[in-house]
């Protein structure tokens, strides 16, 4: 049986697709990788909000699944929308790797640093930690952002630690933010294998139950709050409890709530969403 696995075409995305392929290969199962370009890949300069908010790295892969051009889509779970697309399902989550954000270029934050990131979630939390920072927009794949740090004379950039680890670039990391310092994006560190509804058996053997429990709680919480790339909203489950966050873009205030039930945690934060 041939299983066509769709992925974005960046070096990190293909590395992640190979991780998924290794879990799916077996007796009688062959894997064909199918690179697909997404809206987020085509436009690497405009802010996410001008392209189409959260899901800009997912939509074309989902369309390929629905059209029957691929059988499995490999996503960074943090890139997915908080609710499943009709007709599709996450058939498996691979075991989560490091969910933390990483500061690259410096061992710690210090006053008046110039830090690059395109994430409003990271921007808000960075400014809450150090209000004198200058946060500069920075997009592109990992290699591009690391290169631009030098070209633009930035003191540091903030990236997902898991991506750096997967590309053997951990040497670039000066500091990994504890989730209590900087709450990660929902799903960060996990890979999601998406399939058409009814075809979960294609990937079910690769599913890591504990990762699913945690990531699904994070996604459910964000779905209730109504978050996305344009909102400084985050959620992270450490295995014992779920913590979610809503913040002002400028970091002038942050509200965190923790608990066991995603709906209850989200409800406690709802009064602050429009603040």
**pLDDT by residue (tens digit) across 98-129?**
999 999 999 999 999 999 999 999 999 999 99
- With residue 150 as reference, give the H or E element that holds it: helix 142-151
Please answer whether residues 191 and 19 qualify as being in contact, where contact means their C-beta atoms are separated by less than 8 angstroms. Answer: yes
Tokens (6 digits) for 197: 């509804």
Q: What does the alpha-carbon distance between residue 207 and residue 250 come to, in Å, rounded to a whole number?
A: 38
137-165 pLDDT per residue, tens: 998 899 999 999 999 999 999 999 999 99
| DSSP codes of every residue in 165-214 | HHTT-GGGEEEEPPTTTSPPPTTTT-EEEEEETT-GGGTGGG--HHHHHH
- Helix orientation angle between 209-225 and 262-273, rounded to the nearest 10 degrees: 30
Q: What does the alpha-carbon distance between residue 273 and residue 58 come to, in Å, rounded to a whole number?
A: 25
What was the pLDDT predicted at 274? 67
User: Nearest 5°: phi and psi at 194?
Assistant: -100, 140
Positions marked active-site:
79
With a cut of 50, list the residues of the chain below it in pLDDT. 43, 46-52
What was the pLDDT predicted at 39? 62
DSSP 51: H
Distance (Å) of CA 102 to CA 122, 141, 185: 10, 15, 13
Tokens (6 digits) for 139: 């997009």
Kindly state which CATH superfamily the domain 101-176 is placed in.
Answer: Periplasmic binding protein-like II (3.40.190.10)
Write down the pTM of the prediction: 0.90
């Amino acid at each position: 049986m041939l299983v066509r696995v769709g992925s974005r075409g960046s070096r990190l995305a293909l590395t992640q697709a190979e991780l998924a392929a290794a879990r799916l290969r077996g007796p009688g199962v062959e894997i064909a990788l199918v690179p697909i370009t997404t809206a987020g890949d085509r436009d690497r300069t405009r802010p996410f909000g001008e392209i189409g908010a959260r899901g800009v790295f997912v939509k074309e892969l989902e369309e390929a699944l629905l059209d029957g051009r691929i059988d499995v889509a490999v996503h960074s779970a943090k890139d997915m929308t908080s609710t499943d697309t009709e007709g599709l399902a996450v058939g498996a989550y691979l075991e989560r790797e490091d969910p933390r954000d990483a500061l690259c270029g410096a061992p710690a934050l210090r006053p008046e640093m110039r830090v690059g990131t395109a994430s409003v979630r990271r921007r808000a939390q960075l400014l809450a930690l150090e209000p004198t920072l200058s946060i500069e927009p920075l997009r592109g794949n990992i290699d591009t952002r690391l290169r631009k740090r030098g070209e633009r004379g930035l003191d540091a950039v903030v990236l997902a630690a898991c991506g750096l680890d997967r590309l053997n670039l951990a040497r670039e990391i000066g500091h990994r933010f504890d989730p209590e310092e900087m709450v990660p994006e929902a799903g960060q560190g996990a890979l999601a294998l998406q399939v058409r509804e009814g075809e979960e058996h294609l990937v079910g053997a690769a599913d890591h139950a504990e990762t699913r429990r945690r990531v699904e709680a994070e996604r459910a919480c964000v779905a209730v709050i109504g978050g996305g790339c344009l909102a400084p909203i985050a959620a992270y489950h450490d295995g014992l409890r779920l913590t979610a966050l809503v913040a002002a873009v400028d970091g002038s205030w942050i509200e965190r709530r923790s608990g066991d039930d995603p709906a209850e945690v989200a409800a406690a934060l709802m009064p602050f969403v429009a603040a």
